[in-house]
Amino acid sequence: MRSDHPHATTPPDPPDIGDHLALDLLNTEARGRDGIVDHWRTEDDVLRWLARHEVVPPSPAGRAPHDLLARARTLRTHARDLIAGRKASETGEIGDIGPLNGYLRAYATAPELSRDDSGRLRLIRVAETDATASLLGPVAEAVADLLVAGDFALVRQCEHPDCILWFYDRTKSHRRRWCSMAQCGNRQKAARFRRQKKENEDR
């Protein structure tokens, strides 16, 4: 297992609360007690995350490409800049799309006939590029899809002041405020209760 932090302990798996692959990408960084926690510390961390999101098979053959961690982190940075910029923009304008287009151009695919489990023909697309571009291409496409087709009124960050996690609000009422009601929602309620109690005691 390769890492730029060889003596670091393995962080827990990042939460899958984004309800969109592009937002789960951003959520591979979270805020902990001692600052920002990066859930990607090794190439294998990225590969496991891709498998969890069915971008690659659960047990992909071979080892993770040596440049997967660096290129995945760079994609995440570009995605965060674009998504946060789009969320903050009243006109829908965003920053430099060139770096994201670089990931999309690198993900070249070709059509190929295949057979499903029952033997019927199906048309699939097969990556024709290097291993890292093939792994990260679907994630870059998810970011582009969110920027083009996403309803940014429903793209939100958790309202807890100590949380930086993102989510796509797919609830019927579209009133979701927290990454997790069990975590940040309850923390906010407890903080409000303590604040109100103190105000009552000070009267």
Q: What is the pLDDT of residues 117-167, one digit of tens each?
A: 999 999 998 999 999 999 999 999 999 999 999 999 999 999 988 899 999
Phi, psi values for residue 172, rounded to 5°: -65, -40
Q: Is residue 134 part of a domain?
A: yes
Whether 187 is in a domain gets the answer yes
Enclosing domain of residue 83: 21-202
Structure tokens at 186: 């309850």
Match 């009124």 to its residue by tokens.
153
pLDDT at 1 over 50: no
- pTM for this model (two decimals): 0.83
CATH number at residue 178: 1.10.3300.10
- Identify the band that residue 2 occupies on the pLDDT scale cut at 50, 70 and 90: very low
**For residues 95 and 41, what is the distance between their CA atoms, to the nearest angstrom?**
27
Whether residue 36 is contained in a domain is answered as yes
Confidence of residue 49 (pLDDT cuts 50, 70, 90): very high
Average pLDDT over every residue of 20-49: 94
What 3-state class would DSSP assign to 34? coil
> Considering the domain boundaries, does residue 1 fall inside one?
no
How many structural domains does the chain have?
Answer: 1
The answer to whether residue 13 is domain-embedded is no
Q: Report pLDDT for 3.
A: 45
**pLDDT digit string (tens) for 65-100?**
999 999 999 999 999 999 999 999 978 788 899 999
Domain membership of residue 79 (yes or no) is: yes
Q: Does 12 reside within a domain?
A: no
Tell me whether strands 35-38 and 109-115 are parallel, antiparallel or unpaired: unpaired
Cα separation of 64 and 85, whole Å?
31
Closest CA to 16 of 46, 43, 45, 49: 49
* 69/5 Cα distance (integer angstroms): 12
* Within-domain flag for 2: no
